[in-house]
Amino acid sequence: MKFSKALLFFVLVVALIAIVGCASATPAAQPPAASSAAPASSAASQAAAKTYKDMTLCYPQLGAESDWRTANTASFKETAQTLGIKQLVFSDAQQKQENQISAVRACIQQKVDVIALPPVVEDGWDAVLNEAKNAKIPVIVVDRSVSADKSLYASHIGSDMVLEGERAAAEFNKMMPNGGAVLELSGTTGSGAAVGRAKGFRNKINANIKILDSQTGNFTRAEAVPVMQAFLKKYKAGTDFQGIFIHNDDMGIGAIEALKAAGVKPGDLKIVSVDGTRGGFQAMVDGWFQADVECNPLLGPQVFEMALKLMNGQTIDREVLTNETVYYPDKAKDLLPTRKY
C-alpha cells in the first residue's frame, strides 16, 4: 500500500512535467500579417483581418519600354512572391492605353481585391475608374499620375515628376551660368512623367537658357536615336545648343549613340538625364551625363502594404511621394556596382 501511494505520486509528477513540457514546446500561433496595424480595441476586426495570403492584386503594367520599367515589374513580382500573396494578376499593355483599360476591366470581372494602376498617360481614365469604384475595388495609382478626379481612386504612390524636372533645371543653371540653349528629349506624350518633368524644367530654368527644341522619344532607346539624329541635322552641337535635358536614361543612351555617330565627344555638351539606372551611371562614368536625377522604380513593397490596409479598411495616405536625390559623376564609379536596377 505504501509502495502504491509512492508510485501514484511519482506517476502524477511525471505526468505534470510532461504536460508543462509539451505546452512550452508548442509553437505560438502566428498573428495575422495585418494584426499589428488593426485597431487594438476591436477583437472582432482583428479576427477578420485579411492577410497577404488572401490578396489578389491586379497590376496592368504599362509596358516594357525602359530599364526603369523592367525594374518596376521585377519589384512587383518579387514582392508578391516574398509576401506570399494569393495571386498577382500581371499584364503588359505595350504602352497602349486601350490595352491597359481592357486589362483593368478584366480585373474588375475577376473581382480582384485591389488594382494598382501605372497609367501610361494622364487623361482618359474616368470611365474605367468609375467602373472599379462601382465594383468596390480600390485603385492605387502607381508611378505616373492621372488627371481623373481624386474621388475615383484611393491613393497615388510614385515620384514627384515636377520636382524631377526642377532638379534637372537646377543642374543646367549651375553648369551654364552665362546662359545658352538646350534641347529637350521628352518622354511619352501625355504621360504624367513627361508632363511633370517638362513643367518642372520650365518652372526653374534660368531666363538666359533657351529651350531650343523639344521632341518625344517615347521613353525608349530605339525611338531616341532618330530624334537625336534629326536634332543634329537641324542644329549644330556646341554652337546652336550646349546642353540636352533627356527625360530618361534609356533615351539618353540612344542619344549618346547618335551623338557618337555624329562625332560629338563626351563633355562637348552638358547632358542631364532622369532615372539613375545602371545605364545612366555608366553614362556618367563615361563622361556623357553631368547629372542623373533619381526616379525610383522599386515601388512594390509600399504598394502591397497599402493594398493590405485597403483590404482591411484601414486609413491610408492619399498621396505618397518617393524620397529621391540627384546623382553625379564623381561618385558614379563607386556607386555603380551597388545599383539595384
Beta carbon of residue 267, minimum distance to ligand AHR (angstroms, whole number): 24
What is the enclosing helix (H) or strand (E) of 227?
Answer: helix 221-234
CB nearer to ligand AHR: give 55 or 146: 146
Residue whose CB is less far from ligand AHR, 193 or 306: 193
Shortest CB 123 distance to ligand AHR, Å: 15
Least separation in angstroms between CB 268 and ligand AHR:
25
* CA distance linking residue 106 with residue 101, whole number of Å: 9
> In the chain, helix, strand, coil percent, each to 5?
50, 20, 35
Closer residue to ligand AHR (CB): 46 or 302: 302
Q: Are 125 and 151 in contact (CB under 8 A)?
A: no
In terms of CB distance, is 77 or 86 closer to ligand AHR? 77
225 vs 222: CA distance, rounded Å: 6
Contact between residue 123 and residue 190 where contact means Cβ atoms under 8 Å apart: yes
Nearest approach, Cβ of residue 285 and ligand AHR (Å): 19
Q: Cβ of residue 33: shortest distance to ligand AHR, in angstroms?
A: 29
Nearer Cβ to ligand AHR (52/201):
201
Q: How far is the CB of 332 from ligand AHR (least distance, A)?
A: 18
What residue has cell string 558614379? 332
Crossing angle of helices 300-311 and 67-83, rounded to 10°: 50
| Closer CB to ligand AHR, 130 or 147, in the complex | 147
Shortest spacing between CB 169 and ligand AHR, in angstroms: 16
* Of 133 and 199, CB closest to ligand AHR: 199
Task: Please name the helix (run of DSSP H) or strand (run of DSSP E) that holds residue 197, with its range, or none.
Answer: helix 192-204
| Site residues (vs ligand AHR, CB under 6 A) | 65-66, 68-69, 143-144, 193, 219, 248, 250, 274-275, 295
Which residues are within 8 A (CB) of 169 and not within 5 positions of it... i.e. 6 or more apart? 200, 201, 202, 203, 204, 205, 206, 245
CA dist., res. 94 & res. 60, Å (int): 10
Question: What is d(CA 188, CA 252) in angstroms, rounded to the nearest whole number?
Answer: 14
The x, y and z cell numbers of residue 70, run together, are 523592367
